[in-house]
Amino acid sequence: MEQEAVLLPRIGEAAPTFKAVTTQGEINFPADYKGSWVILFSHPADFTPVCTSEFMTFASMEAKFAEVSCKLVGLSVDGLYSHIAWLRTIKEKIEYKGMKDVEVKFPLIEDITMEVARKYGMIQPGESSTKAVRAVFVVDPNGIIRTIIYYPLSLGRNFDELYRVVVALQTADTFGVATPADWQPGDDVIVPTAGSCGVAKERMENKGDLKCYDWFFCTKKLPYDEVMKAVKKQ
C-alpha cells in the first residue's frame, strides 16, 4: 500500500497550524506566538544522550533567545508523561559541560500520533520511520517559515548557529541588507545589488560609505551595538 504523499513546508510559506498538548499546557501554533519569533524543533526521543545534551543547551540559552524576541518549542513522538519524567531527570541528575540543575521551561510537544511531525516533514523514513529527525523551523512574528534546517539522528545541533540565524534574519529585515558567509553581529553587511547601470556606475565611482569589490558586490559597516539594539526591540 502506497503512503500518502506529504507536501513539506517551504521557506516563505505560512507555518502549518496545529493544536497540541505540551509540558507547559495546550498550545495553538503559530497563533499563540504571533508577534514573536519562534524556533520549533524536533528531537528523536526522550531519555537519549544527544537529545539530553541539546535540551540542556537550549534551556541554558533560553534567556539569550528571549532577548531577541525568540521563543522555543520542542517536539518528539513520545508521550507527555515520558516528557515530564525526562525533564525531571535532566533537572535532578544530569550535569554536562558545566550545566547542572537545568530546568526546561519551554513547551515540549506530545506527538505520539506523529500528526505534527508529519505536517512538518520531521519523519524521514530513510533515517527512521518511528523517530523524528532533528528538524529546526524558524518562524517569524507573522507565522511565516523563514529557515528550515534538518540534521540526522546522530548529529547534535550547533545552538550558537541557531541564535546567529535568528539575529541575521532580524538584521536583514530591519536594515534591508543581506549577511555574508560566516556573518556575526558587528561584521560588514551586504547592500542590495545595483538595479541599474547608472547605480552600478555611481557605486564604483562614488563609493561613499560602501566598500565595493565589484558593481554587484558592495558591503557597508553595521556596528554591533546598532544591530543588537534593533533586534532586542522586536
When computed from its CA atoms, the radius of gyration of the chain, rounded to whole angstroms, is 20
Annotated catalytic residue, options 51, 70, 212, 218: 51
* Residue 134 annotated as part of some ligand binding site: yes
**Annotation says 51 is catalytic:** yes
- Asked, as a colleague might, if the bond just before 141 is cis with ω within 30 of 0, I would say no
Q: List the binding residues for substrate.
A: 134
Which active-site residues does the annotation give? 51
